[in-house]
Amino acid sequence: MATDASPSRLRELALGCGFTCAGELRTDTIRIRPEVRDTCATGKCNSYGKSWSCPPACGSLEECEQRIRRYGGGLILQTSGTLEDSLDYEGMTQISADHAKHLRAFQEALLSLYSVSEADAPLPYLLLGAGACKSCEQCSYPDSPCRFPERMLVSMEAMGMVVSDVCQANNLPYYYGPNTLTYVGCVLICNR
């Protein structure tokens, strides 16, 4: 396990990776909602059934909830930015790319911080992102197993979470005002 995986150390790591906010997350505030998964099934983001990190491959809602409940707490990770106006697609794309970069940097920091003694042992944390995993240029789903399961990022939504509700339940803003955009991820940490 980690030498120093205290909440303050994890927050310091997260902010050092570029997130604009890293707030406390209590897993008992997370509610799994079937309507979120139903939205995934409509194909709105064009990833349903096309990635190991997306439904149905990421598990049933019951399995997702069981995974979440293994953890005692964690951090909500936000990347916020300012847009020129509500149609600033370039700005939206840049904030999304920044958030993905911050998640990958934090993932590398977590992999360095934690050590797992057995190759097949589960990681003592669960890092969740926004949108489908982009670890590989082309996902191996469904023909072959995930190439890098320790680097796969499942989205909060794929797990059945309403992101704004998770933020609100943990006293963290989700909306930062006109012409702003915030992407959200989280990390859940095992109980000690």
Which strands, in side-by-side order, build the sheet including 154-155?
21-26, 71-82, 180-190, 125-129, 154-155
Q: How far apart are CA 84 and CA 108, in angstroms?
A: 32
Read off the tokens for 11.
């927050």
Does any domain span residue 80?
Answer: yes
Task: State pLDDT tens for residues 80-100.
Answer: 999 999 999 999 999 999 999
C-alpha closest to that of 15 among 77, 73, 74: 77
Burial of 130 (0-12, 13-18, 19+ CB in 10 A): buried
Question: Looking at residues 121-125, what average pLDDT do you find?
Answer: 75
Does any domain span residue 171?
Answer: yes
Total of domains in the chain = 1
Question: Looking at residues 47-74, what average pLDDT do you find?
Answer: 93
Does any domain span residue 152?
Answer: yes
Does any domain span residue 177?
Answer: yes
C-alpha closest to that of 39 among 142, 131, 157: 157
Query: Which is it for the CA torsion 104, 128, 77, 189, positive or negative?
Result: negative
Q: How far apart are CA 94 and CA 81, in angstroms?
A: 9
For the chain, give the mean pLDDT: 90
Read off the tokens for 157.
């939504």
Phi, psi of 25 (to 5 degrees): -125, 125
Does any domain span residue 2?
Answer: no
Domain that holds residue 59: 7-190
Does any domain span residue 28?
Answer: yes
Does any domain span residue 179?
Answer: yes
Q: How far apart are CA 190 and CA 90, in angstroms?
A: 38
Task: State pLDDT tens for residues 135-169.
Answer: 888 999 999 999 998 889 999 999 999 999 999 99
Assess whether pLDDT exceeds 70 at residue 120: no
Q: How far apart are CA 121 and CA 7, in angstroms?
A: 23
Assess whether pLDDT exceeds 80 at residue 117: no
- Residue 2: pLDDT band (50, 70, 90) is very low
Q: What is the DSSP letter of 27?
A: G
Percent of the chain with pLDDT over 90: 75
Does any domain span residue 106?
Answer: yes
Burial of 107 (0-12, 13-18, 19+ CB in 10 A): buried
